[in-house]
Amino acid sequence: MRRDAKSHSKPRFNGADMAMSRDEVYSKVQGVLVDALGVDDEQVKPTARLKQDLGAESIDFLDIVFRLEKAFGIKIPRGELVPENVLTDPNYVQNGRVTPAGMTELKKRMPYVDLNEFEKNPQVDQLPFTVDAVVRYVQSKLPA
């Protein structure tokens, strides 16, 4: 039997009434990634890269965005969390490496990703899009 959400005695986070701690955001992001990617909780560490370590593919990112929106009650505009068009633009990527212009664009469009180490050897397939980056992105979308 389905119960109306209002009948729950425990207050639920609705995005407007209280701020979530980083640990709460991390826990929810971890659950989203486990469900979307079919990986174990232990694999979803802050430093785990979504593509390289967790096996995320392009289609998975659509599912992840949908699940994050639902879990946190936020709206994620297309291309905001994962700006795919940057990594496919020949002005930004040449010979599998991000160009200086591409690095500038990534920093502008993905401020939640730590690109310091990546900048030293900017191989596209090594982009450090980590679980922690997703957590920071979600935190930036939530009310303070």
pLDDT in tens, 4-35: 433 333 344 444 446 899 999 999 999 999 99
- Predicted TM-score (pTM) of this structure: 0.83
Judged against a pLDDT cut of 50, whether residue 56 lies above it is answered with yes
Residue 55 banded pLDDT, cuts 50, 70, 90: very high
Structure-token pair, residue 31? 């659950």
Is the residue at 110 inside a domain?
Answer: yes
Question: Are 26 and 37 found together in one domain?
Answer: yes
Whole-number Å distance between alpha carbons of 120 and 36: 31
The verdict on residue 46 lying in a domain is: yes
When divided into structural domains, the chain yields a total of 2
Same-domain status, 121 and 134:
no
- Shared domain for 133 and 72, answered yes or no, is yes
Which residues span the domain enclosing 37? 21-79+129-144
Q: Both 25 and 60 in a single domain?
A: yes
Query: Residue 144 domain-assigned?
Result: yes
Instruction: Give yes or no: residues 60 and 49 share one domain.
Output: yes
Copy the structure tokens of residue 30. Answer: 């971890």
Separation of alpha carbons 31 and 39, rounded Å: 10
Which tokens belong to 115? 């690109």
Q: Is residue 5 part of a domain?
A: no
Give yes or no for residue 108 having a pLDDT over 60: yes
Asked whether the CA dihedral 124, 125, 130, 131 is positive or negative, the reply is: positive
CATH number at residue 63: 1.10.1200.10
